[in-house]
Chain A
Amino acid sequence: MPEGKLCNRKPIETEEELKTLLSDTGGKKYYEEMKSLDVDSGLLWKTIGNTLKSRTKTWLEICAHCGMCADSCFLYLANDCDPKQVPAYKIQSTLGEIVKRKGQVDNEFMHMVMETAWAKCTCCNRCGMYCPHGIDMGVMFSYLRGLCYQQGFVPWELKIGAGMHRVYRAQMDVTDEDFVETFKWMVEENEEDYPGLEVPIDKEGADILYTVNAREVKHYPEDLAEAAILFHLAGENWTVTSTGWEQTSLAMFAGDWAACKMQVESVYEAMERLKPKRMIGTECGHAHRATVVEGPYWAGRSNGKPPVESIHYVEWLAEALREGKLKIDPAKRIKKKVTLQDSCNYVRNHGLKDITREIMSYIVDPGYFIELSPNREHNYCCGGGGGFNGIGLFRPQRNKGLITKRDQIIESGAELVIAPCHNCWDAIRDLEEEYKIGIKWSFLKPIIISMVEIPEHLKPEE
């Protein structure tokens, strides 16, 4: 069978296709069909010819096979130093091999490639920092995912995820109406405690355009409320957009570059329509990477920047605390051992390593903040990045992958892990569920709300 009904090389384009694929519980039929999916070697080789240029070609060629990348990889460490988890081996045995064979690979081989690309690499890019040649295997795996996606060898959840972006311009089935309605609902629910709380929708020329992760709308809208409350308390002139509000991109994890472009353009259109001074995204790592770091390139913006200055939530928060827009009650600062999880996507890949520590200095009583080791741009992936968290098929591998982070946290002795990133937050929650090491975990917003001083004029009447 060349292509299956569910598992094929065509991306999801309509709501109906999406529902059909979703109704295939656990992707049983999907993966069954994948077993007989043909590889379009011609297309594969043509794509490689068009996109695998000197940088990647050189990376593949000059790899000295020195193995210095081995222990930079958290999956290598978590899997008891299994040589098959050496980053260079993983990429050479997949992408390297495809190139060597000029795309003449079979179904079985592509299955192996799929597992390697999604279950043995989270594209955390740490190995690239440890290769003397500067070979970034995370970047190559991301590229490889694109090839896999094109051939239809992509985990079920990510085919759906990319489809969600194509159909809803959001990672979950949340419509624009749902978004606006949920935000309003959250404001209603909190306006008694915070008089004057509002969510300005589609306001032109605001100082801040706030973008979110669809999961907040769908499952924990408290996060939206918290964002609104903090902007309100800080006296910010902010707004949200009724379309183009989704900052994340599962399409990036899936390697569906066309969908990446569609998704990010919807956000840029909102920026151009509302002309805010700045865009601020929620506490999410890959959302920032997708919309602020990589997005401009998908959208073909030659200066590598989004239409308006775009910053991560932690940058705004640090600024608000620094400038006194938000004041912390010193008595309520954290007084237990607390550590910080650096998100690969905006720390290693966007340099925001000091800003989060500045926030810690405001909200943690002196002496209680502990660093993980290693940290900052050298920090390990939480274990669930790059889509790993959500792929049912690779769940055992994911759980194994959490071990590196678990040991890092245990070693630090922290009781609370602050993870200003959805993926990290999920992974650390799952880590506690799986291994029960007795830690708590949190985003920044609820912590700030628990300790922020409410200005006199914004207090509710008693």
Chain B
Amino acid sequence: MYEFLTGPMFWLSLGTCFIGITVRFVLYFKGLNWQLERVAYKAYPAQGLKGALNSILNWLIPFGTCGWRKQPFMTLIFFGFHIGAVLVPLFLLAHNIFLKEKIGISLITLHPVIADILSWSVIVCAFLLVLRRISLPEVRILTTAYDYFILLLSVAPFVTGLIARYEIGNYSFWLTTHIICGEALLIAVPFTKLSHIALFFASRAQLGMDYAIKRGGMKGKGMAW
């Protein structure tokens, strides 16, 4: 089982994820149409690029935009969730040892304490995100079972990972579950809302270009996000 999961299944899920999101990313930009969206992308590449980067970077900085500053609680739990969700899978020591064995390379690694904190932060913030969904009427009305499913899918590897890390109960069971959850997540990325891992950048870039090229980016000081 373990062999299968860390062997073919590992390659399959990683491949699906990478190829999938690459395809989606490429298709997104191929699907842009200057006349339908009414943005002359090609006529102003420099301004477009600048606007796209601005639009992405500002939103990657906690409290970097009016939108973030307006909702500090959401900003905290959002970044609390996403920073861990991005850093831990990539830079966890255990993951990198596995990578080194598998393909002979490894990335920089997180200090275990930091990794623990980040993982806990993901779980706590995910819990708070759920609470927010339930308690705020403006979020409740939007929420569907699918949203909970996505959240569950994203947080499951962390929960199982932590259980395995603290060796509660049957270690190998939890490790296997952790791997299954992780691989399920990877496979789900291109086919679900999780595609926002890549499409967030695409969508932000598009709106950034829209504002930079058409909606006044070339007048005055540009956009204050």
Contacts and interface: CB of A to CB of B under 8 A. Distances in A.
Contacts of B70: 71-72, 130
A68 B214 contact: no
A118 interface: no
A132 B75 CA distance: 10
A298 B36 CA distance: 9
A360 to B, nearest CB: 15
A62 B203 contact: yes
B207 A66 contact: no
Contact of B138 (A64, A86, A354): A86
Contact of A294 (B32, B38, B67, B74): B38
B193 interface: yes
B125 to A, nearest CB: 13
Given A68-B71, A351-B216, A351-B219, A53 B31 contact: yes
Nearest to B43: A303
Contact of A304 (B39, B59, B71, B207): B39
Interface residues of A, number: 58
B196 interface: yes
Contacts of A355: 220
B28 A54 contact: yes
Contacts of A72: 67, 70
A52 B140 CA distance: 28
A251 to B, nearest CB: 15
A134 B220 contact: no
A376 interface: yes
Interface string A339-369: 0000000111111111100000000000000
A293 interface: yes
B33 A53 contact: yes
A55 B203 contact: yes
A59 B71 CA distance: 22
Interface stretch (A6-14, A76-84, A101-109, A240-248): A76-84
A39 B200 CA distance: 34
B199 A62 contact: yes
A303 B40 contact: yes
Contacts of A67: 136, 138-139, 142
Contacts of B39: 297, 304
Given A66-B74, A352-B216, A129 B67 contact: yes
Which residue among B30, B33, B203, B216 has the maximum number of chain A CB atoms within 10 Å of its CB?
B203
Contact of B224 (A51, A130, A133, A377): A377
A302 interface: yes
A129 B35 contact: no
Contacts of B219: 350-352
Interface in A370-400: 374, 376-378
Contact of B141 (A86, A293, A300, A376): A86
By size class, the interface of chain B is 35 or more
Contact of B40 (A55, A57, A89, A302): A302
A128 B207 contact: yes
A70 interface: yes
Contacts of B33: 53
Nearest to B67: A130
A37 interface: no
Contact of B59 (A92, A132, A297, A352): A132
Interface in B30-61: 30-40, 42-44, 55, 59
Contacts of B220: 351-355
Interface in B206-225: 206-208, 210, 213-225
B200 A304 contact: no
A61 B195 contact: yes
A62 B207 contact: no
A92 B204 contact: no
Contacts of B210: 136
Given A65-B139, A68-B67, A302 B203 contact: no
Contacts of A353: 220
A62 B138 contact: no
A66 B27 CA distance: 25
A443 B139 CA distance: 40
Given A53-B36, A55-B37, A349-B216, A134 B206 contact: yes
Nearest to B55: A134
Contacts of A160: none
B92 interface: no
B200 A65 contact: no
A130 B66 contact: yes
A449 B70 CA distance: 41
B167 interface: no
Nearest to A125: B215
Given A53-B32, A76-B138, A304 B208 contact: no
A20 interface: no
Contact of B221 (A86, A132, A302, A354): A354
B225 to A, nearest CB: 7
A353 B221 CA distance: 9
Interface in B182-200: 193, 195-196, 199-200
A348 B215 contact: yes
Contact of A54 (B27, B136, B218): B27
B170 interface: no
Given A83-B137, A302-B43, A304-B43, A136 B38 contact: no
B40 to A, nearest CB: 3
Interface of A: 51, 53-55, 57-59, 61-68, 70-72, 76, 81, 83-84, 86, 88-89, 92, 128-136, 293-294, 296-298, 300, 302-304, 346-355, 374, 376-378
24 contacts: A53-B33, A55-B36, A59-B203, A66-B139, A67-B136, A67-B138, A68-B74, A70-B138, A83-B137, A83-B138, A92-B142, A130-B67, A131-B67, A134-B206, A296-B40, A297-B38, A304-B38, A304-B40, A346-B216, A348-B216, A350-B216, A351-B219, A353-B220, A377-B223
Given A134-B203, A349-B216, A376-B224, 14 more contacts: A54-B27, A55-B32, A58-B202, A66-B142, A71-B70, A72-B67, A88-B142, A92-B142, A133-B203, A134-B55, A297-B35, A302-B34, A302-B43, A303-B43
